[in-house]
Amino acid sequence: MVGLFDRVFKGSDEMFAKAEESVNKAVADLGADAPMTLPDTAYYLACIYCYLGIKIQTLGELKAALPAVKAMMTREYKTKDIFTSGVGTAIAAEIIEACKYAYTSTPYEGTKYHGHFSDAEVRTLGVPLVTRDIPGFVVMIGPAPSADEAVDMIKGYQARGIFVFLIGGIIDQLESKGIQMNYDVRCVPVGPDIWAVGHIISLVVRATKIFGNVEFGDYDGYNQYTFDRIFAFVNAYAPVDDITVACGAGAIQMGFPVITNDTKDMWRVPKSLIINENTKDWIETSLEARDIKIKVSEVKIPVTYGNAFDGEIIRKADMQIEVDGSRVDCCEFCKTVELSEIEDHKIEVIGKDFDEFDVGAKICLTITAEVNGKDWQTDFEPVVERKFHHFINCAEGIMHTGQRDMIRIRISKGAFDAGFRAKHLGEILYAKIKEEYDAVVDKCQIKIYTTEEGCKQVREEANVTFAKRDERLKSVTDESVPNFYTCILCQAFSPSHVCIVTPERLGLCGAVSWFDAKATHQLDPNGPCQVVTKDNCLDDRLGRYTDVDEAVNQYSHGALEHVTLYSIMEDPMTSCGCFECICGIEPMSNGVVITNREHAGMTPLGMTFSEMASMTGGGVQTPGFMGHGKQFIASKKFIAAEGGMGRIVWLPKALKDQLADRINATAKDLYGIDNFADMIADETITTDVEGLMAFLTEKNHPVLGMEPMM
Amino acid sequence: MENWDNLITVEQMEEATNSLLETAAKLNADTWQQRVKNQTPHCKFGEEGTCCRICTMGPCRITPKAPRGICGCDVHGIVARNYLRFTAGGAATHSDHGRSICHTLYNAKEGGSYQVKDPEKLKRIAKEWGIETEGKDIYDLAHETAEVALMEYGKPFGFSRWTARAPQHTQDLWNKAGIMPRGIDREVSQSLHMTHMGCSSLPEALVQQSLRAGLCDGWGGSMCGTEFSDVLFGTPKPLDTEANIGVMEKDNVNIVVHGHDPSLSEMIVFYANDPEMIAYAKEQGAKGITISGVCCTANEVAMRHGIPMAGNFLQQENVVLTGACEAIVVDVQCIFPALGPLSKCFHTKFITTSPIARMPDAEYIEFSDETAAEKAKKIVKLAIENFKNRKPELVNIPQLKTKARVGYSVEAIKKELDGVCNSHVDDFGTLKPLADVVKSGVLRGAVAMVGCNNPKVRPDTAHIGLMKKLLENDIILVVTGCSAQAAAKAGLMDPDAAKYCGEGLKRVCKLVGIPPVLHMGSCVDISRMMILASDLAKDWGCNISELPLCGCAPEWMSEKAVSIGNYVVATGIQTFLGVDPYTKGSDVVTNLLQGENGMVQNMVEAHFTVDTNIDSLCDKMINCIEDKRKALGI
């Protein structure tokens, strides 16, 4: 038998030789001065940057970095040697892949492969990782024993919410079976060759940097973080060659166990390298190996249910039926009803069912969840209702967008053929509401209307409630409530970050409002959201409170001493890394520029979202930069200490349009200015400072009359 | 690799000892450090094993001019006889300790001072021995099993029952070599008989009997001691405790237990936790009662109750020198007679309890199974009442202590390994995960480090130095006795110490949730190591002698240690000694024991290696492990 160490050493030599060859060829073709950049990332070649602390910007620099990678591949026959050789192999893989990007920024265009992940893609993982919506990642390598088995495996992982990365032949197998593969369905065909693993490790180390703020070059720090906090594992189908074994050693160093069915020259290592020849049993074997416990939702519907389907797109051609709130009366509504009037788990469908409509029909439909419980408060209605989107979307073959009376639900032909009917929407909501809100919801029943008059009536009734809620929301201000809340949900990944959630400043991920925090506290009094009293205000302009300082100090375990609620310059609130938006000061105009995760383009700061975002995150305080939620932009408390939202000089157009009404209303209240949104530049106007200044002057933007920020 | 010096160093421990020796100097108290000076240089004939005084024609000392004793025995016969007598002394000691435990089991009763705490283990042993367990009252079964065990000592025919636990290959070797142990007492008696004037002088025969006498200890008397202690007091499971002199509490009544037999210390621990006693201690001006241990009694109570370990063999005087020890209560073995006079310099009561270990200047409170509760209570009370007699100006407890996780019986190790099994592919309750991790090379192998302290070695340096180097090389350690306490005192049993180890061991510790050095118990519990090696060989599918495993006693000093060495080697485990076993005087005997192609090697597939240079001893162990790996093709 060939020893495990010898296999790792041989495999890492092979990968390194290939990397060296790729770099030499690229240098020969393009020259040493040619730029070497990967698109949409602020972290250069992230594996090299993170593990070795070396920034690569040209091919010459990449070539110069090769000896440092080779130096990791030591050969003393100790575990340390296979570990560092393994990580070195992953870095070599990144180098091979990066060389493709030296020639073009889109080497995989026109193929089925994804290749490099953008920083924005990495950042979208933040919230679902924290909430355990994504309980783990699997890297699947090679062709499965059969295409059918490949499909079963993927479906199995998706049903459990596991994010799937695919390398090699399994991609062709899934393609042959018409399986949807993309980032949104959490099943990504990364690349055809084993070196595509470099992209995955790049994503892993960037997540570690972004959420854990591990120092560049802190090799042990990266491994510690991934071991403790990133629940990934590898499924490698036989035959597993030396180069894959070497990658496996790297994976194991990072804390990711490898499961294989290859027995030739393969060595069992408990909890690290597991041989299971029964490939059909791999999902459970893998989850156990990585200590991933899946909360299984008992949702009685005829299609698979899992977080992986949250991002699934149903195209028109695949659509059986569509609920279309833009054309007809539709809505979804969580309503408090007297306990005595609720028959728990009763699901009523009033009107025609899905099989009574023509294929492709656009129908009206309302869903009302009637709930109550002894600890229930009407303030929880919107909290629960906002989850309907996620609840419904997780059913395979069902796509849900929007909220309130502007919803769209598509039922795919596949789901319909599997027997999915209107009542199953009710089953989903019932099961999930009872599962997630069992501390406050004692009883729940669901009413679904598909009749025109029924829908009209429900919509009207709901709109009255929605209007009342909005009024109530407006009246709930930082001043009017007795306390704020902490949110430390992210600490699983960002151990020293603490959010302080107030009515006018929601959590930076955009997912936790003050009401959410309140409900979370109610649901789990010892959980992530704790009451922060606000008795001792030191400075109401900055939003500086003794109580807030004490809370951040306590919950960051001493990492943070002071945090203000309303300033970007003085002790700004920290970020975990999963913020929706990043705001940074623009010195020429004395204003601030905001960009969001979805916007990949350049800003007048000369930085993209990724680059700005890399300035903060991981619980660090960086005056002048601040991560926040989208809704915070229109808050009266948005950088109130520096003069408020009047400082905003630039926003991505899509974001501006989305928030325009609220921005205008707030600006009117604060400054008496009409149509303030029109004074804010966007990428269609300019992405450089000169253009920005000209535009602001032309619009007579209020920032021009404000005090300097620095 | 992070710096080991973040842990407690030998230098810090020596500094603590020096501060205590200042107190001793002030009081003109005698200490071993002084006595070593008085006794140096040691008698060369004694050290080389070439002095014979087993009849009154001599003593005879072998020199080039006088190559034979008066009876005509040559140097090889004399050295070998001395070696066998040394072994017999150790085997007798361990085995008599085991016998005493069997008696205690025989006297155990429902509601009595001694009860059966692990009935499952009792049933398992009974089944192994073919004793009917079905429908039997657990105490009836205990008495029956105890009786069978006691009969092992004097059985006229057949071999030790415990040897059936060894792999078949090992048993075959023993039979072939004529060293399969018979009745426990018989092997000791025969050893004394063989070494009587006018009996054996053939070195081969004497060394052969040394192995058999050793086996009657490790696979006989010691195994009785370990297994039935578990039945009586519970099989150890991992638990957290503390170690080093700082575990003594200034404001509490300090009772230090010392010796080897857990029957005494178990009862002392029980009464020290009695609310009535704690209240009494408070009445006497103390804040509470602290029990700590020295030597193997400490190991026993640490493993089962988390009682902190104040120190090992050469620190027994230190606990008295703190001036804060109200009573040092001893049972048997390794107790310095010096404790009597030393305790007189302080308020400390030196209480002997066993007719086996009577000493001058001691208060003798004889302990027996029948009167255990009453006597234990009396002792605790005496200590409490002595609190007020402390001389505050003499109190000095050096503030050195560290965390330790202890309690790794074979059962506990298997349980911990179950934690890294995967229910889809692995069997539970085996040592296969350990075998796999060694086969793959993630761990290179294991060393069982045992034994005492000996002033011939700077105390604890060999234990700790060797351990650190082995740990850096991904070699896991299982330890017992004073070696275990050295590791504990130095912080090597804190699970956090894994971070200083090689990457492979570090990972294993993190995944399994263990410290890198596993405390398997007292010196009697080296029998656990024999079971571990046997089960590992069975789960691996090879012979014990093929496993990348070695034994090591770098600072040993007692007869027991020689007995242990014999049975560890005879079990097929290459054994490395840091102190010479008084055999240097005979090249023949040295070759029998240590030769790479010597008699012992040919009989049991393992031999001794003696090297007083600790660095080269370590290199030899690492090479031994790597050679065994190569031979296995891994």
Q: CA of B441 to nearest chain A CA: how many angstroms apart?
A: 7
Contact B441 A1 (CB under 8 A): no
Q: CA of A148 to nearest chain B CA: how many angstroms apart?
A: 22
Q: How many helices (H) and strands (E) does chain A have?
A: 22, 23
The pTM assigned to this predicted structure is 0.86
What is the Cα–Cα distance from B349 to B382, expressed in whole angstroms? 8
CA nearest to B502 within chain A? A80
Contact A270 B511 (CB under 8 A): yes
Check residue A296 and give its pLDDT: 64
Domain B245-394 has CATH 3.30.160.40: no
Range of the domain at A496: 483-705
Percent of chain A surpassing pLDDT 70: 100
- Whether residue A638 has pLDDT greater than 90: yes
Interface mutation vs chain B, best among A78, A220, A259, most B CBs within 10 Å: A78
Check CB contact of A74 with chain B, cutoff 8 Å.
Answer: no
Interface mutation vs chain A, best among B418, B428, B437, most A CBs within 10 Å: B437
What is the Cα–Cα distance from A478 to A468, expressed in whole angstroms? 19
What is the Cα–Cα distance from A340 to A334, expressed in whole angstroms? 17
Contact A3 B634 (CB under 8 A): yes
- CATH architecture classification, B406-632: 3-Layer(aba) Sandwich (3.40)
- Whether residue A531 has pLDDT greater than 60: yes
- Whether residue B2 has pLDDT greater than 60: no
Same domain, A64 and A94: yes
Check CB contact of B541 with chain A, cutoff 8 Å.
Answer: no
Per-residue pLDDT tens for B139-191? Answer: 999 999 999 999 999 999 999 999 999 999 999 999 999 999 999 999 999 99
- Of A82, A83, A288, nearest to B422 by CB-CB distance is A288
What is the Cα–Cα distance from A1 to B436, expressed in whole angstroms? 14
CATH of the domain at A126: 3.40.50.2030
Contact A267 B504 (CB under 8 A): no
Per-residue pLDDT tens for A312-338? Answer: 888 889 999 999 888 899 999 999 999
- Whether residue B1 has pLDDT greater than 50: no
Same domain, A580 and A677: yes
Same domain, A45 and A192: yes
Question: A234 falls in which pLDDT band (50, 70, 90)?
Answer: very high
Same domain, A669 and A628: yes
Check residue B136 and give its pLDDT: 95
- Of A79, A272, A276, nearest to B425 by CB-CB distance is A276
- Whether residue A23 has pLDDT greater than 90: yes
Return the SS3 of A7: helix
Q: What are the start-end ranges of the H helices in B541-632?
A: 559-570, 587-594, 599-604, 614-632
What is the Cα–Cα distance from A196 to A168, expressed in whole angstroms? 9
Burial class (CB in 10 A: 0-12, 13-18, 19+), A402: middle
Check CB contact of B634 with chain A, cutoff 8 Å.
Answer: yes
Partners of A293 on chain B (C-beta within 8 Å) are none
CA nearest to A282 within chain B? B424
Q: CA of B232 to nearest chain A CA: how many angstroms apart?
A: 34
- Rounded to 10 deg, the angle between the B203-216 and B587-594 helix axes is 40
Supply B590's token pair.
């040295």
Per-residue pLDDT tens for A467-498? Answer: 888 787 778 899 889 999 998 877 777 888 88
Check CB contact of B437 with chain A, cutoff 8 Å.
Answer: yes
Contacts of A345 (CB under 8 A, 6+ apart): A430, A444, A445
Question: A112 falls in which pLDDT band (50, 70, 90)?
Answer: very high
Same domain, A358 and A505: no
Contact A78 B424 (CB under 8 A): no
- Of A5, A284, A288, nearest to B441 by CB-CB distance is A5
A302 lies in a domain? no
Q: Which of residues 239-268 of A touch B (CB under 8 A)?
A: 252-253, 267-268
Mean pLDDT score of chain A: 92
Same domain, A549 and A462: no
Return the SS3 of B485: helix
Partners of B507 on chain A (C-beta within 8 Å) are 79, 252, 272
Same domain, A565 and A665: yes
Q: For residues A210 and A229, is the Cβ–Cβ distance under 8 A?
A: no
Tally of CA atoms within 13 A in the half-sphere of A80 that contains its CB = 18
Same domain, A370 and A320: yes
If phi > 0 it is left, if psi is from -120 to 50 it is alpha, else beta; for residue A577 that is left
Check CB contact of A291 with chain B, cutoff 8 Å.
Answer: no
Q: CA of A289 to nearest chain B CA: how many angstroms apart?
A: 6
Check residue A432 and give its pLDDT: 92
Q: For residues A155 and A147, is the Cβ–Cβ distance under 8 A?
A: no
Q: For residues A204 and A190, is the Cβ–Cβ distance under 8 A?
A: no
Residues in chain A: 710
pLDDT, average across residues B209-216: 98
A308 lies in a domain? no
Question: B560 falls in which pLDDT band (50, 70, 90)?
Answer: very high
The CATH number assigned to the domain with range B71-233 reads 1.20.1270.30
CATH of the domain at A410: 3.30.1650.10
- Whether residue A575 has pLDDT greater than 60: yes
For residue A602, the 8-state DSSP code is B
Same domain, A30 and A69: yes
Tell me whether strands A187-191 and A163-167 are parallel, antiparallel or unpaired.
Answer: parallel
What is the Cα–Cα distance from B582 to B556, expressed in whole angstroms? 12
Contact B504 A227 (CB under 8 A): no
Q: CA of A54 to nearest chain B CA: how many angstroms apart?
A: 22
Check CB contact of A5 with chain B, cutoff 8 Å.
Answer: yes
Partners of B473 on chain A (C-beta within 8 Å) are 78
Q: How many helices (H) and strands (E) does chain B have?
A: 26, 16
Backbone angles phi, psi at A612, to 5 degrees: -65, -40
Burial letters B279-292, b for 16+ CB under 10 A, else e: ebbeebebeebbbb
Domain positions in chain B: 71-233, 245-394, 406-632
Check residue A598 and give its pLDDT: 83
Contacts of A239 (CB under 8 A, 6+ apart): A142, A262, A264
Question: What amino acid occupies position A200?
Answer: I
Per-residue pLDDT tens for B574-632? Answer: 999 999 999 999 999 999 999 999 999 999 999 999 999 999 999 999 999 999 999 99
pLDDT, average across residues B453-459: 96
Q: For residues B263 and B372, is the Cβ–Cβ distance under 8 A?
A: yes
For residue B377, the 8-state DSSP code is H
What is the Cα–Cα distance from A702 to B122, expressed in whole angstroms? 86
C-alpha to C-alpha distances, B91 to B180, B345, B522, nearest whole angstrom: 15, 35, 15
Contact B440 A267 (CB under 8 A): yes
Percent of chain A surpassing pLDDT 90: 70
Contact B503 A273 (CB under 8 A): no
C-alpha to C-alpha distances, A196 to A16, A147, A263, A292, B335, nearest whole angstrom: 14, 21, 24, 25, 67
Backbone angles phi, psi at B409, to 5 degrees: -70, 165
What is the Cα–Cα distance from A349 to A153, expressed in whole angstroms? 35
Contact A285 B424 (CB under 8 A): yes
Check residue B514 and give its pLDDT: 97
Tell me whether strands A483-487 and A531-533 are parallel, antiparallel or unpaired.
Answer: antiparallel
- Of A252, A267, A275, nearest to B439 by CB-CB distance is A267
Contact B424 A276 (CB under 8 A): yes
Partners of B509 on chain A (C-beta within 8 Å) are none
**ipTM rounded to 2 decimals:** 0.93
Q: For residues A319 and A353, is the Cβ–Cβ distance under 8 A?
A: no
- Whether residue A519 has pLDDT greater than 90: no
Check CB contact of B631 with chain A, cutoff 8 Å.
Answer: no
Same domain, A251 and A134: yes
Residue A122: closest CA among A213, A30, A41: A41
Q: What are the start-end ranges of the H helices in A169-301?
A: 169-176, 197-212, 219-229, 242-254, 282-289
Per-residue pLDDT tens for A666-702? Answer: 999 999 999 999 999 999 999 999 999 999 999 999 9
Check CB contact of A293 with chain B, cutoff 8 Å.
Answer: no
Q: Identify whether A572 is preceded by a cis peptide bond (ω within 30 of 0).
A: no
Same domain, A545 and A654: yes
A477 lies in a domain? no
- Of B420, B441, B510, nearest to A270 by CB-CB distance is B420
Check CB contact of A706 with chain B, cutoff 8 Å.
Answer: no
- Whether residue B401 has pLDDT greater than 60: yes
Mean pLDDT score of chain B: 97
C-alpha to C-alpha distances, B369 to B137, B328, B597, nearest whole angstrom: 21, 20, 49
Q: For residues A709 and A585, is the Cβ–Cβ distance under 8 A?
A: yes
Partners of B474 on chain A (C-beta within 8 Å) are 78-79
Contact B441 A285 (CB under 8 A): no
Check CB contact of A285 with chain B, cutoff 8 Å.
Answer: yes
Check residue B352 and give its pLDDT: 97
pLDDT, average across residues A436-442: 85
Q: CA of A184 to nearest chain B CA: how many angstroms apart?
A: 31
* Residues forming a β-bridge with A406: A403
Partners of A233 on chain B (C-beta within 8 Å) are none
Least confident among A358-367, B1-10, B69-78 = B1-10
* Residues forming a β-bridge with A348: A447
Per-residue pLDDT tens for B230-258? Answer: 999 999 999 999 999 999 999 999 999 99
Same domain, A146 and A260: yes
pLDDT, average across residues A618-623: 82
What is the Cα–Cα distance from A289 to A277, expressed in whole angstroms? 15
Residue B92: closest CA among B560, B439, B624: B560
Same fold, B71-233 and B245-394: no
Final residue before a domain boundary, out of A470, A504, A531: A470
Check CB contact of B425 with chain A, cutoff 8 Å.
Answer: yes
Per-residue pLDDT tens for A537-548? Answer: 899 889 999 999
> How many structural domains compose chain A?
3
